[in-house]
């Protein structure tokens, strides 16, 4: 029975029932009893596996099909009325054409199955920045994950009210999990998402990338706010004041690690603390005082497991110790716990690898495959879905409906050369340019050539729900609206290397030293060196206490170096990118961004 009087919700759910023809319909109220019952059912059918309830209370395991282990960008579409409105960074099809193609796939796709109707809120219930979504799905895995990742249940409907039409309609059916018929489709003009033939996280937890980034970025443009692929962290200073920073990085650049950073000893002793507000998505809107406020629309972390350990990210690991869902990691059959590459150096002897085969872990992981890489017990994109409340450093402001005021915005990527450890933009327009120029070198972990530069503007390339040129224009408009209250914009690069290929900067907790400089710049308490590309730190202003042996003055010189020749090449590449990848393909680049390029070029020529 429906959980809401809202006729818009009820009409849409009726239509989805008529289309997919489920045997049964269950409305998710979010109660403990209902969740316990669904969990038990999923365990009884084998869809979920119960883990060791003493060591990992409340934790369960799920294995997806081997063909269904990651987001599928080539099968992700933005269906706006015109192709131009989707722009050069998105796949596009006309909405009617897409619906005509997908309707037969959905027709009867839930026959013999249960449809779950999930009401959820992205953002704290009742927050003026929050938004409501309803997802219908034929997957219990989706229900159990959405329970962790969102504020799920009846309260979301109460927040929506009995008449509003302002909710995002998400239709998901795993159908036959056929990769040839897999589509992840956003209809931004209709607040609608259709996802079919996948049962993997990012493709099916429709509140996350589909709603909170693709649909929300479009809503934000129309409503005067921003949906960004950014972590949010708070730095508490010894005087007790907390400064909030958001940061956008392409994948494989350590976003979750930065969000949950543990400061070096010296900082801890001095009284610094870092709090996590979010690790993936920020919704930001000007507040009553004219400053930019951010909420994390999510309620949990959907993190990559491999590489997570007590050293690389103690807080993330601690977050996974209860009420967590593990997807595609390995199981240690001796005690029904979980394992992944990089957790420790001892793969379980009696293991089940991510595809479900029982193997001897050490033997299995010593075999080099045809691709020259060692076999892995856990899939490289295996995940944990962990409740945010589990995180030892979760911010006390996590549920604050007003959000947190943003002092600084950071962009970054993985760059072996060219880009210094940190630099500050001259102003918001220059900062927007820096965001548009975000790029990262591919790592050995990804397919394709290593070290190839991939452009990923604002780390949003796969997530901007409209034309990237209009998105950049929206950034510029937001800057105008915020005026002198706008956050300061910085760029960082933790990945600069020496001539022998060694990283110059230790990273992880030591990134606190860079955050420290950024905060002081925002407060106006440190000077900087003006270079053609922006302000860089004076050497003495980066606190190296405790790592003087590792980061010598010579190394610091290299980290902060701005090489004119390399930057001339960088600017030439940006001109090529703007022209060939964006403008020639229908992206309208704001004139102000070309002016920034001209100015940097002129400064470099001097
Ligand atoms: C991503 C993620 O792919 O957060 O960006 O999963
Ligand atoms: Mn992400």
Please list, in sequence order, all residues whose beta carbon lies within 8 angstroms of the beta carbon of residue 37, skipping any fewer than 6 positions away: none
pLDDT category of residue 452 using cuts at 50, 70 and 90: confident
Q: Determine the Cα–Cα distance for residues 132 and 159; give it in Å rounded to an integer.
A: 8
Q: What are the tens digits of pLDDT across the range 360-415?
A: 999 999 999 887 888 999 999 999 999 999 999 999 999 999 999 999 999 999 99
Query: What is the 331 CA–ligand 2 centroid distance (Å)?
Result: 25
**Residues tagged active-site:** 253
At residue 443 the predicted structure's pLDDT band, cuts being 50, 70 and 90, is low
Residue with CA closest to ligand 1 atom 3: 251
Q: What is the predicted pLDDT for the residue at 449? A: 67
pLDDT of residue 188: 98
Query: In this structure, what token pair is assigned to residue 70?
Result: 């990651």
Nearest ligand to the CA of 462 is 1
Give the phi and the psi of residue 546 in degrees, each rounded to 5: 95, -15
Q: Which residues contact 407 (CB under 8 A, 6 or more apart)?
A: 243, 244, 245, 487, 488, 519, 522
Segment 157-194, tens digit of pLDDT: 999 999 999 999 999 999 999 999 999 999 999 999 99
For the CA of 463, the nearest atom of ligand 1: 5
- pLDDT recorded at residue 43: 98
Nearest ligand to the CA of 247 is 2
Cβ neighbours for 312, distance < 8 A, ≥ 6 positions apart: 257, 342, 508
Sequence-distant (≥ 6) Cβ neighbours of residue 353 within 8 angstroms: 330, 359, 364, 375, 376, 377, 378
Distance 232 CA to ligand 2 centre (A): 13
pLDDT of residue 352: 98
Tell me how crowded residue 397 is: count the other CB atoms within 10 A of its CB.
19
Phi-psi region of 336 (alpha: psi -120 to 50; beta: other; left: phi over 0): left
Distance in angstroms (rounded) separating the CA atoms of residues 590 and 480:
14
Work out the percent of the chain whose per-residue pLDDT is above 90.
Answer: 95
Strand 325-327 relative to strand 60-62, pairing: parallel
CB 43 within 8 A of CB 61: no
Q: Find the residues whose C-beta lies inside 6 A of ligand 1.
A: 71, 202, 251, 280, 302
Instruction: Write the residue with the smallest CA distance to atom 5 of ligand 1.
Output: 251
How many CA atoms does the CB half-sphere of 263 hold within 13 Å? Answer: 27
What per-residue confidence (pLDDT) applies to 252?
A: 79
Per-residue model confidence (pLDDT) at position 372: 83
Q: Would you state the pLDDT for residue 447?
A: 53
Q: Percent helix, strand, coil in the chain (nearest 5)?
A: 35, 25, 45
Task: Give the Å distance between the CA of 251 and the centre of ligand 2.
Answer: 7
Around ion ligand 2, residues with a beta carbon closer than 5 Å are 280
pLDDT in tens, 455-485: 999 999 999 999 999 999 999 999 999 999 9
Cβ neighbours of 95 (radius 10 Å): 17
Rounded percentage of the chain residues whose pLDDT exceeds 70: 99
CA dist., res. 482 & res. 502, Å (int): 41
Q: For 551-602, what is each residue's pLDDT tens digit?
A: 999 999 999 999 999 999 999 999 999 999 999 999 999 999 999 999 999 9
pLDDT of residue 306: 95
pLDDT tens digits along 308-342: 999 999 999 999 999 999 999 999 999 999 999 99
**What is the C-alpha separation between 212 and 362, in angstroms, rounded?**
40
In this predicted structure, what is the pLDDT of residue 309? 96
Q: What is the pLDDT of residues 113-132, one digit of tens each?
A: 999 999 999 999 989 999 99
At 268 the pLDDT is 98
Residues ≥6 apart with Cβ < 8 Å to 575 = 597
Within the chain, what is the greatest distance between any pair of CA atoms? 72
Place of tokens 């050069």: 88
In tens, the pLDDT along 261-310 reads 999 999 999 999 999 999 999 999 999 999 999 999 999 999 999 999 99
pLDDT in tens, 55-114: 999 999 999 999 999 999 999 999 999 999 999 999 999 999 999 999 999 999 999 999
Give which of 161, 508, 461, 133 is closest to 310, Cα–Cα: 508
Residue 371 to residue 88: CA distance in whole angstroms: 33
CB of 38 closer than 8 Å to CB of 349 = no
H or E element that contains 512: helix 512-523
Cα–Cα distances in angstroms (integers) from residue 49 to residues 53, 58, 200, 530, in the given order: 11, 11, 16, 57
């Amino acid at each position: 029975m429906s959980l809401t009087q809202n006729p818009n919700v009820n009409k849409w759910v009726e239509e989805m029932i008529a289309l997919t023809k489920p045997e049964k319909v269950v409305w998710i109220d979010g109660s403990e009893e209902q969740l316990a019952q669904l969990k038990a059912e999923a365990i009884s059918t084998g869809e979920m596996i119960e883990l060791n309830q003493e060591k990992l209370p409340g934790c369960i395991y799920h294995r997806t099909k081997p063909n269904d282990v990651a987001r599928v960008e080539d099968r992700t579409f933005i269906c706006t009325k015109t192709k131009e409105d989707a722009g050069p960074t998105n796949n596009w099809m006309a909405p009617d054409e897409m619906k005509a193609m997908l309707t037969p796939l959905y027709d009867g796709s839930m026959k013999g199955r249960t449809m779950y109707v999930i009401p959820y809120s992205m953002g704290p219930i009742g927050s003026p920045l929050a938004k409501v979504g309803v997802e219908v799905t034929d997957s219990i895995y989706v229900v159990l994950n959405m329970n962790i990742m969102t504020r799920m249940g009846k309260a979301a409907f109460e927040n929506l009210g009995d008449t509003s039409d302002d909710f995002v309609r998400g239709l998901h059916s795993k159908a036959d999990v056929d990769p040839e018929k897999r589509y992840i489709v956003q209809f931004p003009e209709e607040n609608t998402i259709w996802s079919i033939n996948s049962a993997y996280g990012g493709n099916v937890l429709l509140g996350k990338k589909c709603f909170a980034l693709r649909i929300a970025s479009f809503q934000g443009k129309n409503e005067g706010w921003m949906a960004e692929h950014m972590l949010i962290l708070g730095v508490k200073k010894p005087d007790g004041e907390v400064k909030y920073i958001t940061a956008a990085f392409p994948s494989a650049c350590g976003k979750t690690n930065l969000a949950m950073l543990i400061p070096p000893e010296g900082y801890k002793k001095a009284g610094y603390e870092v709090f996590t507000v979010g690790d993936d998505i920020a919704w930001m809107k000007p507040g009553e005082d004219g400053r930019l406020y951010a909420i994390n629309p999510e309620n949990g972390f959907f993190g990559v497991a491999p590489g997570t350990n007590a050293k690389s990210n103690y807080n993330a690991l601690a977050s996974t110790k209860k009420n967590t869902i593990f997807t595609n990691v390995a199981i240690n059959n001796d005690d029904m716990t979980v394992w992944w590459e990089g957790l420790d150096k001892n793969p379980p002897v009696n293991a089940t690898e991510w595809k479900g085969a029982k193997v001897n872990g050490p033997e299995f992981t010593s075999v080099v495959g045809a691709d020259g890489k060692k076999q892995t017990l856990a899939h490289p994109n295996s995940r944990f879905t962990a409740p945010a409340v589990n995180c030892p450093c979760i911010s006390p402001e996590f549920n604050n409906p007003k959000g947190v005021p943003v002092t600084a915005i950071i962009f970054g990527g993985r760059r072996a050369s060219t880009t210094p450890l940190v630099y500050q933009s001259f102003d918001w327009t220059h900062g927007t340019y820096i965001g548009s120029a975000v790029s990262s070198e591919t790592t050995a972990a990804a397919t394709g050539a290593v070290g190839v530069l991939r452009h990923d503007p604002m780390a949003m390339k796969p997530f901007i729900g409209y034309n990237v040129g209009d998105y950049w224009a929206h950034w510029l408009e937001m800057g105008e609206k915020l005026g002198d209250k706008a956050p300061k914009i910085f760029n960082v690069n933790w990945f600069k290397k020496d001539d022998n290929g060694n990283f110059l900067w230790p990273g992880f907790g030591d990134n606190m030293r860079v955050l420290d400089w950024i905060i002081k710049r925002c407060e106006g308490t440190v000077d900087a060196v003006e270079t053609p590309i922006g302000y860089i730190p004076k050497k003495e202003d980066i606190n190296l206490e405790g790592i003087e042996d590792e980061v010598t003055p010579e190394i610091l010189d290299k980290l902060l170096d701005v090489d004119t020749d390399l930057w001339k090449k960088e600017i030439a590449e940006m001109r090529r990118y703007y022209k060939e990848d964006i403008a020639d393909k229908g992206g309208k680049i704001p004139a102000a961004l070309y002016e920034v390029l001209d100015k940097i070029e002129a400064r470099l020529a001097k």
